[in-house]
Amino acid sequence: MARARRHDPERRERIVAAALRVVGRSGLAGLSHRTVAAEADVPLGSTTYHFASLDELLVAALREANEGFGRLLRESPALADPAIGLATALSRLLAEWMGGERTGVELEYELYLAALRRPALRPVAAEWTESVVAALSARTDPATARALVALMDGICLQVLLTGGTYDEEYAREMLARVLEPGR
């Protein structure tokens, strides 16, 4: 007699969450269908059913990871308030993001930078950049918004790679220089 299939509508999301935990704990080198299946407590066939390749799983994981900063950006009252300078709003937003659980920030950047070696991830990395540029373009022109994204990424990567502390005043000053050239 055939075993009835268990109805599990959230299995795909659990697999993605498990992939994020595996990468967060063991890096990209530790990611496999088998390690994710064990972490998600699902049969190995479930991971390959939902994600035919590791790249497909990484694409889903990167999209999920990108939600951390994206959510902060979308929900930021300071960013939407024209009375608050954009440099101030962004430096505060980065302080909130970098001041939280560093593991999540590191995970986002690890997956984002994985696009250097995994072409399947490049469109997702580009989507993230475009979404941030679109959000910032409500307050400035698109070219300046791109420069702000590049600067914010650079500041965050320097802090993460050196083990340093995020300096909100420095970030505000540098962001202001991009927004107000020649000041």
Tokens 């107000």 correspond to 180
Q: Which of 39-43, 67-71, 120-124, 169-173 has the lowest mean pLDDT?
A: 67-71
Tokens of 4: 């009835």
Nearest to 131 by CA among 68, 45, 88: 68
Q: Which of 74-83, 148-157, 167-176 has the lowest mean pLDDT?
A: 74-83
CA-to-CA distance for 127 and 162, rounded, in angstroms?
A: 27
Angle, alpha carbons 95-66-177 (nearest 5°): 45
Q: Mention every residue, 6+ apart, whose C-beta is less than 8 A from residue 67.
A: none
List the domains of the chain with CATH numbers: 9-52 (1.10.10.60), 66-179 (1.10.357.10)
pTM (2 d.p.): 0.84
Assign 88 a pLDDT band (cuts: 50, 70, 90): very high
Assign 7 a pLDDT band (cuts: 50, 70, 90): low
Q: How far apart are the first and last CA of the chain?
A: 77
Angle, alpha carbons 126-32-157 (nearest 5°): 40
Tokens of 99: 């001041």
pLDDT score for 1: 47
Averaged pLDDT, 80-102: 91
Nearest to 94 by CA among 167, 163, 146: 167
CA-to-CA distance for 78 and 2, rounded, in angstroms?
A: 57
State yes or no: pLDDT of 182 exceeds 70: no
Assign 62 a pLDDT band (cuts: 50, 70, 90): confident
CA-to-CA distance for 148 and 155, rounded, in angstroms?
A: 10
CA-to-CA distance for 119 and 27, rounded, in angstroms?
A: 18
Assign 68 a pLDDT band (cuts: 50, 70, 90): confident
Tokens 């505060």 correspond to 92
The H or E element that residue 89 is part of is helix 86-99
State yes or no: pLDDT of 4 exceeds 80: no
Give percent of the chain with pLDDT exceeding 90. 64
CA-to-CA distance for 121 and 113, rounded, in angstroms?
A: 9
